[in-house]
A and B are shown apart, each in its own frame.
Chain A
Amino acid sequence: MNFKMLSVVSAVALAMPTLGAAGPDDDTLIINEEIEVVTKAEPAEHLDGALYEVISGWHFRNDDTQAIEMDDFDNPGMLGVENAMATWNTAEGSAGKSCADCHGDAAESMKGVKATYPKYDEKAGTVMTVQMKVNECRTERMGAEAWKYDAGPAIDMEAMIGSQSRGMQMNVAIDGPAKPFWEKGKEIYYTRYGQLELSCASCHEQNYGNMIRADHLSQGQTNGFPTYRLKNAKLNGAHSRFKGCIRDTRAETFSPGSDEFIALELYVASRGNGLGVETPSVRN
């Protein structure tokens, strides 16, 4: 038995409730009593047995936090979505165009976008995130300035676009031209960083279900991003979350929008293929 298999076995054992560690709960996520969201799924083939089940971070939060996500009115992340909806309809830049002028109703044109992003872009010859795509429209089609990565307006727009895919299952492509980017993301995921020599996998693959300090470790999935966090009471981007996680291991980190984080976002998203989109999710 090789080391990897061994650690998988121990992670499974530790996640068993009988050992005192609180595993994911069995609640069902239905938003607005209407949108059913798949929060537990069969692992994608590429995971090669590393996870026996793919589980949304929603299951690792307590009932109060879970409830806030289940109703759009209670979910303060929807304030960001509403802001972006107003931006969507407002002309900006030298071309005097709004997003709506070209894309019409976001509920139609942006449906399914989040489920397939990050995505390889032929023209750009690279993998692009939703925020990069939005900035491409702003700079090349609207004559407007690019938004700063993961900053307020960019995150609100990403959340608005993401919310149009709620309930649809994540399905990012990892083959063909996306493959080298995905490989790079995977390498980062398993690299041990910092003084503590921890990789993403040390926490989110080998120890999900366990407590670190008083925090219930999830699988670190991105199906709910951007996420409204109770901690800072605002919408947070996936790259900002990655940054915080790496910083916690006392390592030098990459920046939001960097090539490393784009590749990592693709890889992490692919680990959650099959999970329903929750954007904007609510976490602690």
Chain B
Amino acid sequence: MGFSRRDTLALGAGAIALTALPLRVGAAGEDAIAAFTGGADVSEGGITLDAPEIAENGNTVPVGVSADGASAVMLLALGNPNPDVAVFNFGELAGSQTASTRIRLAGTQDVVAIAKMADGSFASATKNVKVTIGGCGG
């Protein structure tokens, strides 16, 4: 990746140039959610999703999910060509319904976590993560 003259002129301006993509839950995202929830209603709250507001590189973005009493949590990256990221199934000996990992994000987008609660209900949390365009190619 090279710089243009405009980039270098912007040096010193302290400006963060972020490209925000419009959010759309694409068909693939909807399919993945439907497969997980069986079409049931999903409410907000009851689950926390930890992700940085700004990720320094889309290749390795730390994320964490936590949903007390959940049997499973699905993690989706709605702006990725394939929105599926992971499904965490918590077993009998899970010490908490918490897990963290590192994921790939193809650009600025919404990350969604959906928890399947023990009573069969579903809860979700969404976080917008801005993915910055790096400077130095080395």
Q: Indicate yes or no for A touching B, C-beta below 8 A.
A: yes
Q: Which residues of chain A have C-beta atoms less than 8 A from B138's C-beta?
A: 236, 240-245, 247-248
- Give the CA-CA distance A215 to B13 in the complex, in Å: 13
How many chain A residues touch the partner (CB < 8 A)? 39
Interface residues of B in 1-23 (CB under 8 A from A): 1-3, 5, 7-8, 10-18
Contact flags A43-63 to B (C-beta < 8 A → 1, else 0): 000000000000000000110
Counting chain A CB atoms within 10 Å of each CB, the highest count among B10, B11, B13, B134 belongs to B11
Q: Which residues of chain A have C-beta atoms less than 8 A from B59's C-beta?
A: 230-233
CB of B16 within 8 A of CB of A214, answer: yes
CB of B133 within 8 A of CB of A213, answer: yes
CB of B7 within 8 A of CB of A212, answer: yes
CB of B136 within 8 A of CB of A250, answer: no
Nearest CB to that of A241 among chain B residues?
B138
The contact size tier of chain B is 20 to 34
CB of B54 within 8 A of CB of A247, answer: no
- Give the CA-CA distance A212 to B11 in the complex, in Å: 6
The count of A-to-B residue pairs whose CB atoms sit within 8 angstroms is 102
Interface residues of A in 117-134 (CB under 8 A from B): none
The answer to the question of B82 belonging to the interface, with a C-beta cut-off of 8 Å to chain A, is: no
CB distance from A267 to the nearest CB of B (A): 17
CB of A212 within 8 A of CB of B10, answer: yes
The answer to the question of B132 belonging to the interface, with a C-beta cut-off of 8 Å to chain A, is: yes
The answer to the question of B96 belonging to the interface, with a C-beta cut-off of 8 Å to chain A, is: no
CB of A62 within 8 A of CB of B136, answer: no
CB of A217 within 8 A of CB of B135, answer: yes
CB of A284 within 8 A of CB of B56, answer: yes
The answer to the question of B137 belonging to the interface, with a C-beta cut-off of 8 Å to chain A, is: yes
Q: Which residues of chain A have C-beta atoms less than 8 A from B18's C-beta?
A: 214
Q: Which residues of chain B have C-beta atoms less than 8 A from A245's C-beta?
A: 136-138
> Which of A20, A62, A244 is within 8 Å of B137, CB to CB?
A244
> Which of A210, A229, A233, A250 is within 8 Å of B12, CB to CB?
A210
- Give the CA-CA distance A245 to B137 in the complex, in Å: 6
The answer to the question of B57 belonging to the interface, with a C-beta cut-off of 8 Å to chain A, is: yes
Q: Which residues of chain A have C-beta atoms less than 8 A from B7's C-beta?
A: 212-213
Contact flags B35-75 to A (C-beta < 8 A → 1, else 0): 00000000000000000101111011010000000000000
CB of B60 within 8 A of CB of A211, answer: no
CB of A284 within 8 A of CB of B12, answer: no
Nearest CB to that of B1 among chain A residues?
A248
Interface residues of A in 151-202 (CB under 8 A from B): 196, 198, 202
CB of A284 within 8 A of CB of B14, answer: no
CB distance from B7 to the nearest CB of A (A): 6
- Give the CA-CA distance A61 to B52 in the complex, in Å: 13
Q: Which residues of chain A have C-beta atoms less than 8 A from B57's C-beta?
A: 229-231, 284
- Beyond the given A61-B56, A213-B7, A231-B57, please list 19 additional residue pairs across the A-B interface where CB-CB is below 8 A: A14-B14, A65-B56, A68-B62, A210-B12, A211-B14, A213-B17, A213-B133, A214-B133, A215-B132, A215-B133, A240-B138, A242-B138, A244-B136, A245-B136, A247-B2, A249-B2, A249-B3, A250-B2, A250-B3
